[in-house]
Chains A and B, each alone.
Chain A
Amino acid sequence: MSNEKIQFDVVVVGAGLAGSTAAAIAARHGLDVAIIERGRSPGGKNFFGGALYTHSLEEIYPDLWDRKPPLERPVTETGFWFLSKDGMVKATVQGGRINNEPIDAYVALRAKFDSWWAEQAEEEGAFIIPKTLVTDFIYEEGQVVGVTTDRPQGDIYAPVIIICEGVNNILTQKLGLIDHDIQPTKAALAVKQLISLSPKTINARLGLPSRKHGMAISVVGDVSMGMPGLGFLYTADKAVSLGVGVTLHALQETQIKPYELLQRYLEHPAIAPIIEGGQLMEYGAHLIPEGGWKEMPKLFTGGAMVAGDAASMVNALHWEGTNMAIVAGKQAGLTAIEAHQKGDFSAQTLSSYQDGLQERFVMKDLRQYRRMSKFLANHPEFMEIYPTFLNDAMGNFFTSFGKPKRQLYKEIWRSLTSRRSLLKVIGDMVSFGRAVIGI
């Protein structure tokens, strides 16, 4: 056994989307890069709904499609389903620009995709060290110069460390970039099942013309049992992914078990027929950092940068996070290259990481939506009253039962105002608008 110091130009912590991207960019420029991953293999610990955005993938690999990425179906129909107790209103968009090349988003399964994404980084020259947990940092003169791991003789040195540790921001805290754990009010717990069905069945039940068509649906209303949160449905090629995400805080308060929440969703009269006869392939849960802008740590310090979930880079309303992680990973990789060119790894040099992100949608969107998580927490009516009203209103509008129409409109009106006063409704709409526009 050698006692030589283990040294790389760049160490990336975590082989998720941010980590493997950062490593690929740095390795492509000839730097000696190690990715340290705690799972048995890259992707082993990663989980999402979900869909990936092609713009971010192509930004890293312009020849993406020649590389045959393991993506599932393209998203050709997307939007909202509003659930009441026993009914559903669908508001989705399909065809038009959603259906045109280039396709904006593809459904993916992370265990498969992330291990492929990491292989691309390996091809660029990055070296993956799996089954190893980074536990702390090594400092010299106040500057980070390496990491310690949970293995014997486990120190690894590099003048720049890119932390993509995910939602549990333990290392980010150790560096003093943020002073607290992720807060229960600022994190959603998402639980999901992947249920296998034949492509034919999926197409027939969801009205999809072929295997080249897929859905990404946000489900609002009866799914979250009044808690701030959303359900979702995504179509993989031969499986459907269904889940619910609600804030951790709400789960604590209500004492509702996440698996009960999911089970209830899957048994909903509008959902159950979709998955009937399917086989459970995967059952999992993951935390999503939804604090956004307000929970962002400082993004860099001397010798280290943070990207992805650890840096709170998630846009909860638009279900964006993977694209932010990839763009941030790229920016961190570029900054590492710049630092090596200068031979200077100080906080001042690494600040160009943040400067770069300011120019991109990452920081712009996060800043714009900075009030969103607070808004959703304070407005449970968007989860309960409005979806039910929508179902009532549409249900009334499209049935006759021999009533005069004036009475019909009165009933629709009453089904709203009996639940929430008109003044409050107006207030809700205004604050929703503010949270979205970000003023």
Chain B
Amino acid sequence: MIHLLVSIKQVPDTTNIRIDPETGSLIRKGVPAILNPYDAHAVAAAAEWKRKLGGKITIITMGPPSATLALQECIELGADRGILLSDRKFAGSDTWATSYVLAEAIRKIHEEDPIDLLFFGKQAIDGDTAQVGPGVATRLEFPLITYATNIREINQDEGFVLIERKTELRTEIIRATLPALLTCEKEIAEIPYAALPDLIKSLRYETETWTAEDPVIYDETKIGLKGSPTKVSKTGTPKQHEPGETFKVAEIGLKESVDTVFEKMISNSSVASLWE
């Protein structure tokens, strides 16, 4: 029997999102909330290995009460238990504070029921930081394998996993001792079309909610906006570049063209300084 944990996030469907041209911020109103796509693949991977080895899957997430829907979707994909970390005190947490909140909750779960392997999506599509998974691994001192694309083997007897991970140039095969933490690419598993009994079970499933005091007592200086060192001073949309001037060699001749361009370059201060 294996115990797998997947940490997920409910995110606005960013394929559907627009930017308010005046304020530069995301218009979240009317945008559906979905299970972060990378996380969905992570859950699917966990479900595959649960089927192979037997065992159970615990899902954990931090978010508002509506994140229950994302947890239910994980139950539909084959998870057994869903824990929602939800408290106003968590609101405004950056990746630093979030990884603290998740790590402490996972520590609690791990004490009661040891976890063999932890799955995170490689990043959330709303923030795109890819920091929370590594942050949790660091805090819990578990081996970390990012950008995992394939799980070759989970060997509980000898206590290791063999994971393929994608880098820019090659695929690496990593052997790590259990418990280990993966952040997953979409290739890790296909999302299955859940069987009807699983769907019905998920619709009737009631998630557990954990607060900032129960069952884990959090240090309030480390959570929420107060516990978040990241400060967003300004957000905006970059201005579109104006196209540069065009000189047609056919019209003004080669020498003239080169001279003009050269003139322009040395009159530009940054290039001129290089010239000197």
Contact = CB atoms under 8 A, between A and B. Distances in A.
A156 interface: yes
B203 A152 contact: no
A153 B203 contact: no
Contact of B196 (A40, A127, A128, A154): A154
B200 A129 contact: yes
Contact of B200 (A6, A152, A155): A6
Interface residues of A, number: 19
Nearest to B69: A41
A6, A40, A153, most chain B CB atoms within 10 A = A153
Nearest 8 Cβ contacts at the A-B interface = A152-B195, A154-B196, A151-B196, A153-B195, A153-B196, A153-B197, A1-B197, A151-B195
A153 B197 CA distance: 7
B163 to A, nearest CB: 28
Interface of B: 30, 32, 193-200, 203
Contact of A129 (B30, B193, B195, B203): B203
A152 B199 CA distance: 10
Interface in A337-380: none
Contact of B203 (A127, A155, A156): A127
Interface in A5-30: 6
Given A127-B203, A129-B203, A149 B197 contact: no
Contact of B199 (A40, A129, A281): A129
A1 B199 contact: no
A151 B197 CA distance: 9
Given A129-B199, A154-B195, 16 more contacts: A1-B197, A6-B196, A6-B197, A6-B200, A127-B203, A129-B196, A131-B199, A132-B196, A132-B199, A150-B193, A151-B193, A151-B194, A151-B199, A152-B195, A152-B196, A156-B196
B55 to A, nearest CB: 15
Nearest to A112: B30
Interface in A153-204: 153-156
Nearest to B73: A131
A2 interface: yes
Contacts of B30: 281
A1 B194 CA distance: 12
Given A127-B203, A129-B203, A1 B195 contact: yes
A149 B198 CA distance: 14
Contacts of B203: 127-129
Nearest to A36: B196
Contacts of B198: 1
Nearest to B192: A152
Interface string A305-322: 000000000000000000
Contacts of A2: 197
Contacts of B195: 1, 151-154
Nearest to A153: B195
B259 to A, nearest CB: 48
Contacts of B32: 40
Contacts of B199: 129, 131-132, 151
A418 B84 CA distance: 74
A413 B175 CA distance: 92
Contacts of A156: 196
Nearest to A131: B199
A228 B193 CA distance: 43
23 contacts: A1-B195, A1-B197, A1-B198, A6-B196, A6-B197, A127-B203, A128-B203, A129-B199, A129-B200, A132-B196, A149-B196, A151-B195, A151-B196, A151-B199, A152-B193, A152-B194, A152-B195, A152-B196, A153-B197, A154-B196, A155-B196, A156-B196, A281-B30
A256 to B, nearest CB: 30
Contacts of A154: 195-196
Interface string A126-147: 0111011000000000000000
A128 B203 CA distance: 8
A321 B65 CA distance: 37
Contacts of B194: 151-152
Contacts of A155: 196
Interface in A39-89: 40
B158 to A, nearest CB: 30
Contacts of A40: 32
B32, B194, B198, B199, most chain A CB atoms within 10 A = B199
Contacts of A152: 193-196
Nearest to A34: B200
Contacts of B197: 1-2, 4, 6, 153
B161 to A, nearest CB: 26
A418 B193 CA distance: 64
A40 B32 CA distance: 10
